[in-house]
Structure 1
Amino acid sequence: MSTSRYLVVGAGLTGSAIAWQLAERGCEVTLVERTAPAAAGGSSHGSARIFRYAYAERDYVDLAVRADAAWEELERRHGAPLLERVGALDHGPGRDPRALARVLRDAGVEHELLDAATARRRWPQLVLDGEVLHQPGGGVLDAEGTVHAMLALARARGARVLTGWELTRLERTRVGFTAHAADGRRVDAGHVVVGAGGWLPDLLRELPLPSGFLAAFPVLQVREENAFHFPYRAEHPHGTWPTLIHNPGDQDVYALPGGRDADFRGQKVAVYNAGRPIASAARRSGVVDPANRERVTAYVRRYLPGLVPEPYADTTCLFTSTPAEDFVVDGVDGITVASPCSGHGAKFAPLLGRIGADVATGAAPAPERFRVGGRRPGA
C-alpha cells in the first residue's frame, strides 16, 4: 500500500503531461501505467505526430498558439528538440484553405495562401489541389520522446511512476480513494486523474462517478487506425517534406515525415478515421486491413509522386473520439477525467497538462467546450 495526494492513471501524452504539471506545482504525485510509458498498445507511441495551427474554429487555433509556447518551454526544460518545424500544408476542396487562412489571419498566425502553380514549384513531390495553405511553424512532434521528457521532469520534482500497474477498481473512502491494481497492489490518493485513452470506455464503468456526470459524458468511439510508410524517391529525400492534410472532397488524408519510426526513409500516410471501430483498446487486434492498405497506396500513387507507392512498413494506432471531436477535461467529486482525443490531441500535450492540472487542483476550470455537458459547436 502506498499513498499520494494525486494519482494519475495512464502514462501516455495526457497523463504524463498532467503528472509533470502537478509535480511542478509541488504536489505529491504518483502515476500508474498498465504496461510502460508511451507503450505500443496505446495512442502515444512513436515519433511522428502533426503539429499544425489550421482549424475551422478559432478556439482550437488559439489553443494551438498557446500550445506552441508550451512546446518551447518543454523543449527548453528538456534540453533538446521535440518538435521539428518542417511546415504544414492544407489543401483540397474538403479543407477549404481560404477559409482556414481567414481564421489564422484573425488569430495572428503566420501563414501563406498559395496558388497551385506556386505551391507545385515549391513542393514538386506533391500533386496539389487548387489553393494551398502553408503554416511555416507547423511540423512533426515526437510523441514517445515527449512522454519520456515530461516523465523525467516529473520525476525530478518528486513524482513516482509505477509501471505494469493496471487499474481494475477505484474505491471511494472516507478521505479519498483506494486504487486497486490487477496484481493486488493498492494506492491511496486524495484525488484521481484518469488519462487512459482508448481504455477509458471500459474504465468509466469502474469509476465511482455520479450518474448524472456519466449520463452527460459524450459517447466515446475507439477506432483501430492503420498507417503506412512509403519510401522517398531519391530526388525527394527526408528533410524536403512538410506535413499535409488533404481532402479531395471525400476523405481526409494526412501525411508526415515518419521519423525514426520508419528509419527516416519515408512518409507516414493514413486516411483519417478509416479504421475498424472497436469497443475499447482492450479489443485491439494489431491487424492491418488490406483494403485500407490498397486505398492508401492508390492515394499515394495519384497524389504523392515523390514517394514510391509500395509501403515498406505499417502499423495500427488508436483514435478515441467524441461525436463532436472535442476533448474532455472535466471532473467531479475528486475524480478528473482527461481525454484529449479524437486524433488531434497530441499537438496540445504540454498545454493540456496545465489545463488538466488546473482542473485537478481547482485552480481553474477547463475551457467550456471540454467540460462534460458543456458548450458544443452550434449550441
Structure 2
Amino acid sequence: MSNEIREPMDDLPNPNPRAESATYAVIGAGLTGAAAAWRLAQSGADVIVLERDVPASALGSSHGSARIFRYAYPDPFYARLVMQAKPGWDELEAASGRRLITPSGSLDFGAVRDPRGLARVLAATGVEHELLGSAEAQARWPQLDFDTEVLWHPGAGVIDAERSVETMLELAQVAGAEVRLRWEAATVRRASTGYLVTSATGETVHAQQVIVAAGGWLPALLDGLDLPTGFLDALPQFEVRQENAFHFRYRDERQQGETPPDAATSWPTFIYKGEDIQTYSLPGGRDADFRGQKIAEYNAGRVIPSARDQDGVIDAANRARVVGFVERFAPGMAPEPYAETTCLFTNVPRDDMIIDRAEGITVVSPCSGQGAKFAPLLGELVLDLVAGSGQAAERFRAAGQRFAVAA
C-alpha cells in the first residue's frame, strides 16, 4: 500500500475465544475502540472487541508511531478537553510502564493559524506558552523559517498511536475483555434482547449494547446499523479523505535516530496555516526509521466514499506542494521525501467529535484528524454515555450537519 516503515505486530491473545455474547460489543480496535474497551472492562463490564483487521491497522486511522499531542486550539472548549485527557495518558503510561507520549513542544505559526489568538486561549486555560516574534523564534529554531509571530507551548508531544492501542487492549484483556481479530462487522440488528452483530462471513455475537468506533469505515457500515430513522437522519455527513504524508530527512545527522528514554525529540511538532497552504509536522519516529520529520498538508487528500475505497496511491500534486513548503520554511530538512504513505481523515462539517447514542447503539467518531490526543478520555466519555447519564454532551451530539455544495 505504501513504503511507510512499520514493525510487524502479532495478534493479541484471546483469553476467552469461544465467547458468543457480551454486555458490550465494540466495533473497531483503533484508538477510540481500544479506549472504550479499556474503560468498560476496567469498570467490570463484559466486553468483546470486533476488529476487521488487526489493532491499529494500516487501513485505519490509528496506525504508526506519530500523532500530535497538543493543547493549542482556537476554541477554549477543546483546549480544556486536552487538559482533561492528559491524566488518562498519565494513568495509561503508569499502568503499562511504557512511554506513549514523547515530549517535543509545539510551534504554531502562519497568518491563518493566528498564534496571538491561540496564545489568548492558552492563557485563559492556564497552559504554559510563549508568544515570540519571528526573529526570536528563528534564533531559537534555526532549522525553520517563520513568516509571522510564533506560539510555543512546551507541553506538546508525539503520541505512539500503535503502542497506545496495543497497551489499552492489553489492559482491557487483563480486565477480562475479549479481542477478536479479522472479524468484520457487517450488520447490527435488534434481537429479542439487545443486538445481534453479524460478520461479513456470517459469524454472530450477541450484545446488550454496541459501540461503533469504525473510523473511516463508518460510512460503509451505517446502512447495516439498526438505528432509528430519526437518529440516522440527524447524523452529520461524514467525509473520508485519503491523506498523504511525507517524511523528510533531517540535514543534521545528530538529530536522527531513536529518542533516548526520558528525553525529548530533537525537533518540535509544528502547525503552519497560511493563505496558500496548511500543514502539520512532527518527528516521524518508528514510522520512517527515526531519520526525519513527517509532514502533511491538512485535509488536502482525495475524498473517497469510505475507507473501503482507499487505494494507497500518493497524489503527486500534493507531494509537490509539501516539497515546496519544506523548501520555503524548513531549511533544516532535505527537500526530497525519503518515505511516504497515505492515511485517513474522517471529517464532519463542524469539525466536532461525534459521541452519541440511540437506544443501544453508540456511534463514536472523533473526526477531522484530532481524535488521537483525546483517546483515554474518549473511553471515559463512552463509559459515561453507555453506563452513566445516557446522554451525550451537547457538543458531541448528532446534529444533521451537511457540507456545502460547491457552486
TM-score category, normalised to shorter length: over 0.9
Deviations along 1:83-109, whole A, 9 cap, x unmatched? 011101100111110011001100011
Q: Tell whether 2:340 aligns with 1:340.
A: no
1:191 matches 2:209 = yes
Is residue 2:276 matched to residue 1:250? yes
In the aligned structure 2, how far is the partner of 1:132 from the partner of 1:367? 33
Aligned residue for 2:26, secondary structure, equals strand
Quote the residue 2:115 is aligned against.
97
**Aligned twin of 2:106:** 88
Question: Which amino acid in 2 is paired with 1:336?
Answer: T
Give 1:96's aligned amino acid.
D
Q: Conserved in 2, the CA contact under 8 Å of 1:368 and 1:375?
A: no
Letter in 2 for 1:242: P
Contact 1:129 1:248 in 2 (8 A): no
Match of 2:249 in 1: 231
Q: Can you list the C-alpha shifts for 1:156-205, whole angstroms capped at 9, x where unaligned?
A: 00000000100111120111011111122110000000000001011111
TM-score normalised per structure 1: 0.97
**Paired position in structure 2 for 1:32:** 50
Identify the residue that residue 21 of structure 2 maps to in structure 1: 3
Q: Which moved more, 1:220-229 or 1:168-177?
A: 168-177
Any idea what the Cα deviations from partners look like across 1:235-293, whole Å, max 9, x if unmatched? 66143210000112233211100001011100000100000000000000110011111
Task: Report what 1:316 is aligned to.
Answer: 342
Aligned length: 376
- Which has the higher mean CA deviation after the structures are superposed, 123-132 or 245-254? 245-254
Match of 2:15 in 1: none
Matches within 5 A, 1:128-139: 128-139=146-157
Give 1:1-379 correspondences, 5 Å limit.
2-234=20-252, 237-238=255-256, 239-363=265-389, 365-373=391-399
Residues 236 and 306, structure 1, Cα contact 8 Å, conserved in 2: no
What is the aligned-residue RMSD (CA, Å)?
A: 1.4
For the Cα contact (< 8 Å) 2:132–2:151, is it kept in 1? yes
Q: Secondary structure at the match of 1:103?
A: helix
Distance 2:76 2:388 in 1: 26
Q: Which amino acid aligns with 2:300?
A: A
AA at the equivalent of 2:312: G
Q: SS state of the match for residue 285, structure 1?
A: coil
Q: Do 2:237 and 2:401's aligned partners in 1 also have CA atoms closer than 8 Å?
A: no
* Separation in 2, partners of 1:98, 1:236: 33
Q: CA deviation at 1:142?
A: 0.5
How far, CA to CA, are the matches of 2:390 and 2:23 in structure 1? 18
Q: 1:117 to 1:144 in 2, by over 3 A?
A: same
Which runs of 5 or more structure 1 residues have no equivalent in the other structure? none
Which amino acid in structure 1 is aligned with residue 184 of structure 2? E
Q: Is the 8 A contact 2:30 2:60 kept in 1?
A: yes
SS at match of 1:260: helix
Percent of aligned positions that are identical: 55
Structure 1 ranges of 4+ moved more than 6 A? none
**Deviation (angstroms), 1:80:** 1.2
1:5·1:27 contact (CA, 8 Å) conserved in 2? Answer: yes
Give 1:363 shift: 3.8
Deviation at 1:374, TM superposition (A): 8.9
Provide, for residues 311-348 of structure 1, a one-character-per-residue CA deviation record: whole Å limited to 9, x for no partner: 00000000000001111001011000000121111111
Q: Which amino acid aligns with 1:217?
A: L
TM-score of the aligned structures, taking structure 2 as reference length: 0.90
Whole-Å separation in 2 of the counterparts to 1:92 and 1:306: 18
What secondary structure does 1:298 align onto?
A: helix
SS of the equivalent of 2:104 reads coil
Query: Aligned partner of 1:85: which letter?
Result: P
